[in-house]
Structure 1
Amino acid sequence: MSAPLVSVVVPCWNERDFIERFLSSVAEFDYPAFEVLVVDGMSSDGTRDILKDTDIVTLVDNPGHSKPVALNLGIRQARGDIIVRLDVHADYPPDYLSKCVQGLLDHPDADNVGGVRRSEARDDSLIGRAIALSTTNAFGAGNTKYRIGAAEPQWVDTVFGGCYRREVFDHIGYFDEALTRAQDREFNQRLRASGGKILLLPDITCTYYARSDYREFCSWMFEGGYWPFRASRAVGRWIGAWRNVVPLGFVLAASGGLALSPVSRTVRRLTAALLSTYGAAALYSAARVARRHQDPRLLVVMPIVFATTHVAYGAGSVWGILDPAGRR
């Protein structure tokens, strides 16, 4: 039996710092039958020149550089029976495609298969390392299995990238082009609502290069909290999970408690208890990370990154609920 053709769809825009590393990963794939469609948003930083100089990929133009539009353009031009979505900001081992396809073949009731995304810093600064580590820590990332890992295969609500059967798109449609972010989340929620299943296989791994700049990280976390609520309002249904609500609850409880503390002793005590408990949990998680990586400096930096994660994410969630632009 011949291997099914796999179409790899890759959204791309101004990725000069990562595209060559990504292409090197693709060139090492051991799967026997695949095509790679890089859908570029008319990059102006030299990315297109690099793409035009290689015969590894097919370059597809995406004039508006919208990510969901890029995904849909790539899927419509794809020839494969299996669609794999990859990200330029990651390295993939040679057997990545093979394991994804085998996962679908071994689990006929799975419509989307993915693995665990390990994170590394884009630079070797202390804050960059702390940010990368926070994205794979349960205190910072919640129960997102593709980030924190799993000991065995699990049915989940979403995975990183994803390896889809082609008929999924024929059945439920394409990515929502009105969503600048959260289009993967919305699509996978729609897939599950239609009876589809998403499987995480822990032996499928890749390495993602997380943001290392602190300001960029703050903005990324704010948008991360904004989009589940903004997108839910736009599509008229909840597309998130309980982990998306926890930072919102923390920010509302803490800010409300601080505002009311001057007029109520009970509120002061409850707020102090909340913040003390949070601080103790952050320090405990930071201590475990520092010990695992044998770097005592992380004991100081990790609580700051954890607090930034939860406060920025929670603040973004508040704006996602209130933003007048949230209504489609």
Structure 2
Amino acid sequence: MSKILEILTPEGLPPLAERPGVSFIMPVLNEAEHIAKAITTILAQDYDGDKEIVLALGPSTDDTNRIIADMAAQDSRIQTVDNPQAATPIGLNLAIAATHHPVIIRVDAHSGLGTDYTKQAIDTLRRTKAANCGGLMLARGRTSFQKAVARAYMSPVGLGGPAYHSGDEAGEAESAYLGVYRREVFTHLGGFDEGIKRGQDWELNLRIRTSGGRICFNPDMEVTYWPRDSWSKIAQQFWATGIWRAELIRRYGSQNSIRYFAPPVLVLGVGASVIEALLQMTGTTKTWPKFLRRFTSLVHVPSLGYVSGILATASAAKDCGRRERAWFGLILPTMHLCWGAGFLRGLITGAGSTKDGSR
């Protein structure tokens, strides 16, 4: 390992001051509904160290930038930089370049930090000597639809996988939700990869781990997350996410978890089942040998099993009303199939300039 990068290892990182200053960074685009609440939770942090907030402003078409300007006029800790391309990694890098403190905390307009989030994060960085740490994403909703989406986010049948969704015990992790970084990460590794429109946090965390740095998960660091509020936005979000995950597979291959292949396999299985059903309904399969008809009809078994599993999962959600339960049963396959279809598209063509159209 090069001497330059040894600084990111637990042994190489310099010790943190007792109350290091923290810089919050946030790329923003069309978030009029959420931005004021998100900034308010940052300002309300129970932390005595110096704080600054740098917002990278995209060309919003709603009142987002006006709301931010009004808040910045009342609090000098709120600063802004222009992000005319509205690209998340570019906005993050522009914001980082305008910060001054040794700890950089990524936040999102759809998120709300727990009051002790910053204090917990600093304690975690100091105790674990990590280069980055993150906490638990607590998805929440206001409407029946949004509550159903939040339930799907937190369900092992929904997103599952990373500790920040499932709430595993504290420890080292592959990646982190949002992320609380030592400035040394950006000084020595550079910023986020501006060619990766989604999943840029995973790619940066991969570079951290490759350089000997440690990434830690602390479930006591809680972040409330407000999901998209319409079915079309959820579909667009997961389509784009699937495409970009495939791009990361193309670039980094086996360094990705095998769990990412489950949704595309599901899409292929459902597609095969639909084709078989159409052939059966049109009578095409009647001309086939009997043994072949029996064999190809088995393609329905996995799809029927999946549908049964979704119905059972939705039915088991007893702590909600019928409307939320119905949406939950629809959102789960929407996430899986849109993500999987996007993955297949991205695996074949690459991500190109694909953006998340849900914002």
TM-score by length of 1: 0.90
Provide the residue aligned with 1:7 in structure 2.
Answer: 23
Contact preservation (8 Å) 2:114, 2:221: no
User: Which of 109, 112, 136 does residue 91 from structure 1 map onto?
Assistant: 112
CA distance in 1, matches of 2:350, 2:261: 20
**1:299 Cα offset (Å):** 4.3
Q: Which has the higher contact order (CA 8 A, sep 6+)?
A: 2
Show the counterpart of 1:138.
156
Comparing 314-323 and 194-203, the one that deviates more: 194-203
Q: Distance in 2 between matches of 1:267 and 1:298?
A: 39
Give the match for residue 223 of structure 2.
206
CA distance in 1, matches of 2:62, 2:348: 36
Aligned residues: 320
**CA displacement 1:283-309 (0-9 Å, x = unmatched):** 232233x22x24344443322221111
Q: Residue 139 of structure 2 contacts residue 153 of structure 2 at CA under 8 Å; is this kept in 1?
A: yes
Distance in 1 between residues matched to 2:325 and 2:29, nearest whole Å: 36
Partners of 1:257 and 1:268 within 8 A in 2: no
Number of the residue aligned with 1:276: 304
Greater shift in the superposed pair: 218-227 or 266-275: 266-275
Partners of 2:320 and 2:38 in 1: CA distance: 30
Q: How big is the shift at 1:132? A: 1.7
Partner of residue 115, structure 1:
135
Residue in 2 that maps onto 1:61: 82
1:223 aligned to which of 240, 257, 271: 240
Partner amino acid for 1:323?
T
Secondary structure of the residue aligned to 2:92 is helix
Larger mean Cα displacement after TM superposition, 196-205 or 48-57: 48-57
Quick one: distance in 1 between partners of 2:84 and 2:241? 25
Q: Which residue of 1 aligns with 2:167?
A: 149
Q: For 1:133 and 1:237, how far apart are their aligned partners in 2?
A: 31
1:249 aligns with 265
Q: Select the residue among 345, 348, 352 that pairs with 1:319.
A: 345
Shift of 1:237: 4.6
- 2:26 alignment partner AA: V
Match of 2:313 among 285, 290, 295: 285
**SS of structure 2 residue aligned to 1:140:** coil
Secondary structure of 1:16's match? coil
| Contact kept in structure 2, 1:68 and 1:179, CA below 8 Å | yes
Q: Distance in 1 between matches of 2:171 and 2:312?
A: 28
Cα RMSD for the two superposed structures = 2.1
Q: Which whole-Å CA distance do the structure 1 matches of 2:327 and 2:28 have between them?
A: 32
Selected match of 2:202 from 180, 185, 190: 185
Write the mapping of 1:33-52 to structure 2, written as runs, cut at 5 A.
33-52=50-69
CA distance in 2, matches of 1:92, 1:224: 24
State the alpha-carbon separation in 2 of the partners of residues 217 and 230 from structure 1. Answer: 20
In the other structure, the counterpart of 2:193 is 176
- Identity in percent: 29
Q: Which runs of 5+ in 1 are unaligned?
A: none
**CA drift at 1:172:** 2.1
| Aligned equivalent of 2:211, options 154, 178, 194 | 194
Q: What is residue 23 of structure 1 aligned with on the other side?
A: 39
Q: With structure 2 as the length reference, what TM-score do the two structures score?
A: 0.83
